[in-house]
């Protein structure tokens, strides 16, 4: 956390940058107000990188366009209906929005867009006090009508107006509260938390697409766990992602098992750690984090109390994969993400058979084939799934996976295993067998693929010999 004086110095340096100064001078010359607003001002106090430059003004969208056209390299008005104009100024992308004073019907997130008259009123309609900050330009006057600076210094997240009214205006702000607690490490104001609990059902008024976007932002934060816990404890996840609170399975005095919910949060933490340690990952990986969060969601449906106090979860990997597909589809995640997450959940237990006996090269090849382009993510999820406090067991599993990865690497170097294919292609199969395209070609291809996985590269001559023998035996 920066001191106020240091933050103001940083904001002054930002205001002197070519992009900000060019905009400030142009709006001032045109007789309009202009302020840097929200995240950039907040992050100056938190000593965080400043990425997005957001501005607000008393100018209407038409007037904004008139000002920015002469000084921008490009401009766009895709958000014009909501008062927002985008532009590229001095090489940086900016968004400039007319003061807003929206009104709502109290039931759905469909505001009637109404332009406001003052900067202070615009700030008070924002989500949280720490985002209701502005720097007037070019005079460099800090505007803080909701005491956001005090909340920044105290590490508290609260709404500028009553939380009931704020969340009634836009229920998605309840999920944003969880994201900001994770991103900023702030504590949620008690009244704000109470309102979240009381109004959790309102999240059902929000489109799945907006919920998906907010959930993704939370999961891609450095430490999403605290935000997830807040969403579970306040009941929001019970409406948005009910498979997660369902992991809090009751344990009776006769049957004991690991706390699946806490295990899941630990797996997520560890997956993020492994993800950051691997050079092949550049930034947060949403697929890894979704898979870690949902990898055990099949356990509640498959829990069985066995004699002797044992609890089993047979086939929870397959059940969990199906549940993940259904839930992520309902939340409007894209098909590639859904398929990847489901595949990782389906495969996340496969490795544990490796520790029970040495895998053949054929089994290793199948592991790689089944993982496909998700192999690196599967490495992360499988390692993260080891949460035992038994150090000897954890070391044994870790060493076993080290060994598996080394074998994969060696086989890949020998065989270019990442692109495992039969030694003969479809055209060659048809020529050797004298058949036309059809079911038989597919069966022959799969036969040769199994031979390839079992025994490694065969060469064209040996593959032809095995194919003709298989075809002759099949004809009998």
Query: How does DSSP assign 236-292, residue by residue?
Result: HHHHH-TTTGGG-----SS-----HHHHHHHHHHHHHHHHHH-TT--S--HHHHHHH
Q: What percent of the chain has pLDDT over 70?
A: 93
Residue 197 in contact with residue 230, Cβ under 8 Å? no
Predicted confidence at residue 251, as pLDDT, reads 61
pLDDT tens sequence across 214-251: 999 999 999 999 999 999 999 999 999 999 999 997 66
Cis, bond preceding 247 (omega within 30 deg of 0)? no
pLDDT tens sequence across 337-353: 999 999 999 999 988 77
Predicted confidence at residue 255, as pLDDT, reads 47
Residue 348 in contact with residue 315, Cβ under 8 Å? no
CATH match of 1-153 with 3.30.460.10: yes
Residue 181: Cβ within 10 Å count? 24
Mean pLDDT of 192-205: 96
Of 165, 166, 85, the C-alpha closest to 126 is 166
> What gap in Å lies between CA 267 and CA 262, rounded to an integer?
9
Residue 209's alpha-carbon distances to 103, 104, 113, 145, in angstroms, are 22, 20, 21, 32
Strand 84-89 versus strand 74-76 pairing type:
antiparallel
Predicted confidence at residue 155, as pLDDT, reads 94
Residue 150's alpha-carbon distances to 3, 4, 136, 155, 194, in angstroms, are 12, 10, 19, 9, 21
> What gap in Å lies between CA 433 and CA 440, rounded to an integer?
10
**97-120 burial by CB neighbour count: b if 16+ within 10 A, else e?**
bbbbeeeeeeeeeeeeeebbeebe
Would you give the end-to-end CA distance of the chain in angstroms? 80
pLDDT tens sequence across 252-309: 544 455 689 999 999 999 999 999 988 888 889 999 999 999 999 999 999 887 777 7
pLDDT tens sequence across 142-177: 999 999 999 999 999 999 999 999 999 899 999 999
Q: What's the CA dihedral at 378, 383, 385, 387 to 10 degrees?
A: -170
Q: Give the best-scoring range by mean pLDDT among 93-107, 111-125, 194-208, 458-472.
A: 194-208
Of 370, 384, 376, the C-alpha closest to 405 is 376
What sign does the CA torsion over 217, 221, 224, 227 have?
A: negative
Top CATH class, 155-240:
mainly alpha
> What gap in Å lies between CA 96 and CA 75, rounded to an integer?
11
Residue owning tokens 């999403």: 224
Mean pLDDT of 393-410: 86
> What gap in Å lies between CA 230 and CA 217, rounded to an integer?
15
Percent of the chain as helix, strand, coil, to the nearest 5: 60, 10, 30
Residue 255 gets the label, from left (phi > 0), alpha (psi -120 to 50) or beta, of beta
Residue spans of the domains in the chain: they are: 1-153, 155-240, 245-419, 426-475
Q: Which SS3 state, helix, strand or coil, does residue 36 take?
A: strand
> What gap in Å lies between CA 291 and CA 380, rounded to an integer?
10
Contacts of 280 (CB under 8 A, 6+ apart): 376
Predicted confidence at residue 167, as pLDDT, reads 94
Residue 471 gets the label, from left (phi > 0), alpha (psi -120 to 50) or beta, of alpha
Task: Detail the DSSP E strand segments found in 275-432.
Answer: 304-305, 311-312
Predicted confidence at residue 280, as pLDDT, reads 82
Residue owning tokens 């969403």: 231
Residue 355: Cβ within 10 Å count? 16
pLDDT tens sequence across 11-69: 999 999 999 999 999 999 999 999 999 999 999 999 888 888 999 999 999 999 999 99
414 vs 128, which has greater pLDDT? 128
Q: Which SS3 state, helix, strand or coil, does residue 225 take?
A: helix
Predicted confidence at residue 104, as pLDDT, reads 57
Q: What percent of the chain has pLDDT over 90?
A: 61
pTM for the full predicted model: 0.83
Strand 187-188 versus strand 156-157 pairing type:
parallel
Strand 53-57 versus strand 92-98 pairing type:
parallel
Predicted confidence at residue 254, as pLDDT, reads 44
Top CATH class, 245-419:
mainly alpha
Which pair of structure tokens corresponds to residue 48? 């965080």
pLDDT tens sequence across 103-129: 555 555 455 667 878 999 999 999 999
Mean pLDDT of the chain: 89
């Amino acid at each position: 956390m920066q001191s106020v004086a240091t933050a103001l110095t940083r904001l002054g340096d930002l205001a002197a940058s070519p992009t900000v100064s060019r905009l400030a001078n142009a709006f001032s010359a045109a007789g309009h107000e202009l302020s840097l607003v929200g995240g950039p001002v907040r992050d100056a106090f938190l000593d965080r990188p400043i990425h997005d430059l957001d501005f607000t003004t008393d100018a209407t969208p038409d007037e904004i366009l008139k000002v920015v056209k002469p000084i921008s390299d490009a401009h766009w008005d895709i958000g014009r209906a909501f008062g927002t104009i985008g532009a590229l100024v001095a090489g940086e992308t900016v968004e400039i929005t007319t003061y807003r004073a929206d009104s709502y019907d109290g039931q759905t997130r469909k505001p009637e867009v109404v332009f406001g008259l003052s900067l202070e009123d615009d700030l008070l309609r924002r989500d949280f006090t720490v985002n209701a900050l502005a720097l007037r330009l070019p005079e460099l006057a800090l505007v803080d009508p909701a005491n956001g600076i005090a909340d920044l210094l105290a590490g508290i997240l609260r709404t500028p107006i009553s939380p009931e009214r704020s969340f009634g205006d836009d229920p998605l702000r309840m999920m944003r509260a969880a994201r900001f607690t994770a991103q900023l490490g702030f504590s949620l104001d008690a009244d704000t938390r109470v309102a979240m609990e009381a109004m959790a059902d309102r999240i059902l008024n929000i489109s799945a697409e907006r919920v998906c976007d907010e959930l993704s932002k939370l999961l891609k934060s450095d430490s999403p766990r605290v935000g997830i816990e807040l969403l579970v404890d306040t009941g929001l996840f019970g409406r948005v992602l009910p498979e997660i609170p369902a992991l809090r399975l009751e344990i009776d005095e006769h049957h004991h098992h690991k706390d699946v919910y806490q295990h899941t949060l630990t797996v997520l933490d560890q997956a993020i750690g492994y993800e950051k340690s691997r050079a092949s990952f550049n930034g947060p990986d949403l697929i890894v984090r979704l898979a870690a969060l949902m990898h055990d969601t099949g356990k509640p449906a498959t829990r069985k109390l066995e004699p002797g106090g044992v609890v089993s979860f047979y086939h929870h990997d397959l059940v969990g994969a199906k549940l993940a597909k259904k839930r992520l589809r309902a939340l409007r995640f894209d098909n590639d993400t859904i398929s990847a997450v489901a595949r990782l959940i389906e495969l996340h237990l496969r490795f544990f058979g490796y520790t029970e006996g040495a895998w053949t090269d054929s089994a290793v090849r199948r592991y790689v084939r089944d993982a496909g382009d998700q192999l690196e993510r599967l490495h992360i999820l499988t390692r993260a799934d080891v949460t035992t406090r038994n150090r000897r067991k954890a070391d044994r599993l870790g060493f076993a996976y080290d060994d598996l990865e080394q074998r994969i690497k060696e086989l890949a170097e020998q065989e270019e295993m990442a692109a495992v294919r039969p030694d003969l292609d479809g055209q060659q199969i048809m020529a050797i067998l004298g058949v036309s395209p059809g079911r038989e070609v597919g069966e022959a291809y799969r036969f040769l693929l199994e031979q390839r996985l079992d025994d490694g590269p065969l060469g064209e001559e040996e593959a032809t010999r095995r194919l003709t023998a298989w075809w002759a035996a099949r004809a009998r």
